Amino acid sequence: MKFLAITSCPNGIAHTYMAAENLQKAADKLGVGMKVETQGSIGVENEFSEEDIAQADGIIIAADKHVDKSRFVGKKLLVAGVQDGIRNPEALIEKLVRGDVPVYQARPGQEPSGGSGRQQAAKQNQIYRHLMSGVSYMVPFIVVGGLLIAIALSIGGEPTPGGLQIPEGSFWKIVESLGGAAFTFMVPILAGFIAFSIADRPGLAPGMIGGFIAANGSFYGSEAGAGFIGGIIAGFLAGYVALWIKKWKVPKAIAPIMPIIIIPVLASLIVGLAFILLLGGPIAKFFEFLTSWLASMQGTSSILLALILGAMISFDMGGPVNKVAFLFGSAMIGEGNYEIMGPIAVAICIPPIGLGLATFLFKRKFHDAERESGKASFTMGLFGITEGAIPFASQDPLRVIPSIMIGSMTGSVIAMIGQVGDRVAHGGPIVAVLGAVDNVVMFFVAVIVGSLVTALMIKLLKKDVAQTQPMIADGTVSAGTIAGGSVASRASVNGKAEESVNDKSEVKDNNAQADTNVTSSANAVIQHKPVSKLTDIISLDLIETELQAASRDDVIDELIGKLEADGAISSASEFKQAILRREQESSTGIGMNIAIPHGKSTAVIKPRVVFGMKQVGVDWNSVDGTEAKLIFMIAIPAENPGNEHLKILQMLSRKLMDDDFRDQLLKVHTKQEAYALLDQIH
């Protein structure tokens, strides 16, 4: 089977690509073909061709913004949120495999979801999806406008009693006016793309017209416009009015001009009149009151607001709660109130920076892989990408989420007290470097203090990582584990120990030797060609048709012993930890009597696959409850470029879905017979 998937999130940064990666991994694991198109902030990548769509057995759209479905008429189409793509990719794919998904017919207003019972789940977040679609298109206008104004003020501004002022007639006054022009598009764009998300192209013009009227109080006799609240209302009103008109039954002669003339004209007229005669005035007064109230906040009330905003931003790290606070701050920029976005800009970057800092300061709290992720998290924080904290929060939410919330709230309060302002709808040190932040010193003080608070909360709440102590055959503990180093196991293939450590001095000597060995191994990683078939990285010596071990962990030890004998790994204990960490995430028993344990580790010198058979089976906690009889262990160097382990998994999974091939493999008696069959996997 071959499936297609589209992923897209409002900001088009982290969630888009996380969902894409998880869907691809799930497809590889389930043995189905998958091509994922990402619609992110840099545009469409890996775009489907007409041939891709024609050959597809089904399509998944995992998105929180509008995605054009017109390409998929006549195809089974499953629509879900981007979080479903991140957290439940296998469930989405399995639903397509079962065929429990309707064919998309492009009827007006139809939103295919896929199945009864849970069929309404995808529809429950439609309001949020429409809103975020508008926000995603609005944000670039705020960013451009804010940066142009900030640059003009920082370079061309002159100090006056009323603050920085740009002289009339100067070049920088022109730059400032360009920034102001970008801001004027904010509300119309927001409203237009909310309507577009609801009713497709016929809703775009009515939405933008309604948004323009909402932003200009002169239409309804108000000095202040209805602001972003009015824009949101205009967008939803225009979208649903256009959708309602689309459902009208009209003569065939009129149908072709409905989407380009009749729907836009009627919807624009209805929305425009509704705002001018009914809605505009009351909404403008409410928005004016809200802006004045926020601007007048002093003392404890402003601190309370900062606490709320900081908590919201960090609670779900780019999710719906985060976006509500972000949208609120963005709207205040349009009203000239920059001191709301300032604390938000601080809170945005504290979770990823604080967690990155924690992995550096308190290493015992994290596995090796998490410490590597900490570097990426810290970097993402510098650029204001809160989603960098998600991998840590997903693994230990009860300790990580409170830690980052307290850190963000602390930083947000310091920023509010320090009158930090932000003229751009974004966060992180990058906006300060670009000159968009008022009171830069207090901005960095708030970020540093908030990040340190997060790191200290992690130290306080998070437990030290349990250090496993592999036992060698005579029952003594491996020396490398005692000292925290990485000592290559001395066990032979059948698990018999050749030597043991008897005193502390010998431990010390062995560890010193191990450090040298590991360094040498790391510096001597073998350059290899990309794997095109399984037998590129498997040999007769890495095949065992009669495994002796009786439990999962013992089988892992037996297979690792073969890797060690082959010279593929420098430390059996270190690689075993990588394998067990992967098993803790979810079992690699994929069902149908198959298990594919795998791991990336610095202990792996060269990519290798070991194959073992256990005719009576071993409990591997497989997804279908079957015992593992065919076990493939994949070892990949940590510094290996690309996702080679995923390619190998994909090769294995696809071939092992073939019942005949699997039956043939179960019947082999010799290594040579097994190798001949494995040579077919490519």
Active site residues per annotation: 9, 598
DSSP 62: E
* Alpha carbon distance 240, 210 (integer Å): 13
* Alpha carbon distance 7, 5 (integer Å): 7
Burial (CB < 10 A; 0-12, 13-18, 19+), residue 596, is buried
If residue 467 lies in a helix (H) or strand (E), which one and from where to where? none
Strand, coil or helix: 162: coil
Residues, the chain = 682
DSSP 166: P
Residue where the block lists tokens 């957290």: 87
By C-alpha distance, which of 38, 48, 37, 32 is closest to 95? 32
* Alpha carbon distance 130, 200 (integer Å): 11
Count of CA atoms in the C-beta half-sphere (13 A) of 507: 13
User: CB of 623 within 8 A of CB of 587?
Assistant: yes
Residue where the block lists tokens 């908590």: 311
CA distances to 466, 499, 525, 610, 619 from 553, in Å: 17, 21, 27, 15, 10
* Alpha carbon distance 235, 451 (integer Å): 38
Count of beta carbons in the 10 Å neighbourhood of residue 524: 10
Residues facing residue 8 across a β-bridge: 63
- Output the DSSP codes for 313-364: HHHTTSSHHHHHHHHHHHHHHHTT-TTTHHHHHHHHHHHHHHHHHHHHH-GG
SS (H, E, C) 205-232: HHHHHHHHHHHCHHHHCCCCCCHHHHHH
Q: What is the CA 390 to chain-centroid distance, rounded?
A: 7
Instruction: Tell which phi-psi region holds residue 205, choosing left (phi > 0), alpha (psi between -120 and 50) or beta.
Output: alpha
Two tokens, residue 116:
């009864």
Two tokens, residue 282:
């009351």
* Alpha carbon distance 418, 402 (integer Å): 24
Q: What is the CA 456 to chain-centroid distance, rounded?
A: 25
Strand, coil or helix: 58: strand
By C-alpha distance, which of 571, 370, 563 is closest to 480? 571
Burial (CB < 10 A; 0-12, 13-18, 19+), residue 503, is exposed
